[in-house]
């Protein structure tokens, strides 16, 4: 696998995989030069991830969490406008290939998150199984058995650095290098 690649629309990304040490999950680092590249990565994920996939998103305000989720929605074939559910907490989009459940925990404390019964989304209890994307996931007092941890950092020129760690699931660079 090379150190850089290119996908549709001419957007460049660069990635590297860190070695596994101390039984850690593999991590992939990506450089995304602009908002379009972040959204394009999301589109690729939306086209390839399966029902039951959970994406835990971390990053400062404006780091690109919602932009990535918007791309995932496009990749799933969702035409509805995807916005951050900062005030509604959960937005459900069911018109795509599989549903997308977009959650934002920014305004909550960990003890408040417990009452949301988030596991009903990733376990498919009372909802159709889909992709679950959770912004501000560090506020979660418990985690699913398998998930992708995505950390985004904004650069000075509109670029972003993204780190993806797969925990008990297929490493994500298999998806982005295809």
Mean pLDDT confidence for 70-99: 92
More confident position, 26 or 47:
47
Confidence of residue 48 (pLDDT cuts 50, 70, 90): very high
Residue 65 has pLDDT above 70, yes or no: yes
- pLDDT one-digit tens code per residue, 88-139: 888 999 999 999 999 999 988 888 888 888 888 888 888 999 999 999 999 8
Helix (H, G, I), strand (E, B), or coil: what is residue 165? strand
Structure-block tokens of residue 156: 């000075």
Rama region for 32: left / alpha / beta (φ>0; ψ in -120 to 50; rest) = beta
Residue 76 has pLDDT above 50, yes or no: yes
**Backbone dihedral angles phi then psi of residue 75, each to the nearest 5 degrees:** -65, -30
Give the integer Cα–Cα distance in Å for 50 and 62: 27
DSSP secondary structure letter of residue 50: -
More confident position, 113 or 39:
39
Give the integer Cα–Cα distance in Å for 152 and 162: 5
DSSP secondary structure letter of residue 20: P
Give 4-176's CATH code, choosing from 3.40.50.10860, 3.30.1330.40, 3.40.50.300, 3.10.20.30. Answer: 3.40.50.300
The full set of domain ranges for the chain reads 4-176
Give the integer Cα–Cα distance in Å for 104 and 84: 7
Give the integer Cα–Cα distance in Å for 134 and 105: 7
Mean pLDDT confidence for 67-93: 92
């Amino acid at each position: 696998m090379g150190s850089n690649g290119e996908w549709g629309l001419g957007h460049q990304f660069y990635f590297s995989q860190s070695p596994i040490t101390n039984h850690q999950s593999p991590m992939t680092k990506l450089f995304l030069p602009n908002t379009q590249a972040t959204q394009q990565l999301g589109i690729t994920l939306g086209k390839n991830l399966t029902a039951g996939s959970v994406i835990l998103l971390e990053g400062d305000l404006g780091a690109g969490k919602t932009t990535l989720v918007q791309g995932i929605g496009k990749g799933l074939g969702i035409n509805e406008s995807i916005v951050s559910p900062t005030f509604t907490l959960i937005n459900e989009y069911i018109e795509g290939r599989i549903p997308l459940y977009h959650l934002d925990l920014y305004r909550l404390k960990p003890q408040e998150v417990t009452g949301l019964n988030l596991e009903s989304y990733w376990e498919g209890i009372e909802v159709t199984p889909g992709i679950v994307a959770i912004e501000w996931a560090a506020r979660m007092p418990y985690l699913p058995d398998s998930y992708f941890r995505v950390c985004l950092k904004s650069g000075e020129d509109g670029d972003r650095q993204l780190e993806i760690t797969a925990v008990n699931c297929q490493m994500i660079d298999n998806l982005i290098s295809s």
